[in-house]
Amino acid sequence: MIECGIAAHEEKWAAEREAMIERGLEEEQADAFAATFDRLLHEADEAAAHFPPPPPLPIEPMRAPSPVAQSGMRRVVWSDMQGRRWTSLIPEAWDEAMAEQGIPVGPVSLETMGLPLAWEVALHNALHDRNLLTYRDVLQRPGDVAQALRAVWKRGATEVIDIFRDAATTA
Identify the band that residue 60 occupies on the pLDDT scale cut at 50, 70 and 90: low
Longest dimension (CA), the chain: 69
For helices 142-170 and 117-129, the axis angle rounded to 10 degrees is: 140
- Cβ-contact 42, 9 below 8 angstroms: no
Q: DSSP letter string over the chain?
A: --SS-HHHHHHHHHHHHHHHHHTT--HHHHHHHHHHHHHHHHHHHHHHHHSPPPPPPPP-SSPPPPHHHHTTEEEEEEE-TT--EEEEEEETTS-GGGGGGSEEEEPPP-GGG---HHHHHHHHHHHHHTT--SHHHHHH-HHHHHHHHHHHHHHHHHHHHHHHHHHHHH-
Residue 68 confidence (pLDDT): 56
| Residue 79 phi, psi (nearest 5) | -120, 140
Identify the band that residue 2 occupies on the pLDDT scale cut at 50, 70 and 90: very low
Domain ranges of the chain: 1-52+107-171, 65-106
Residue 4 confidence (pLDDT): 45
pLDDT in tens, 121-149: 999 999 999 999 999 999 999 999 999 99
Model pTM score: 0.59
pLDDT in tens, 63-113: 555 555 556 889 999 999 999 999 999 999 999 899 999 999 999 999 998
Q: DSSP letter string over 21-50?
A: HHTT--HHHHHHHHHHHHHHHHHHHHHHHH
Residue 159 confidence (pLDDT): 77
pLDDT in tens, 8-59: 666 766 777 777 777 776 777 777 777 776 776 677 777 666 666 666 666 6
Residue 85 confidence (pLDDT): 96
Whether residue 160 is predicted with pLDDT greater than 90 in this model: the reply is no
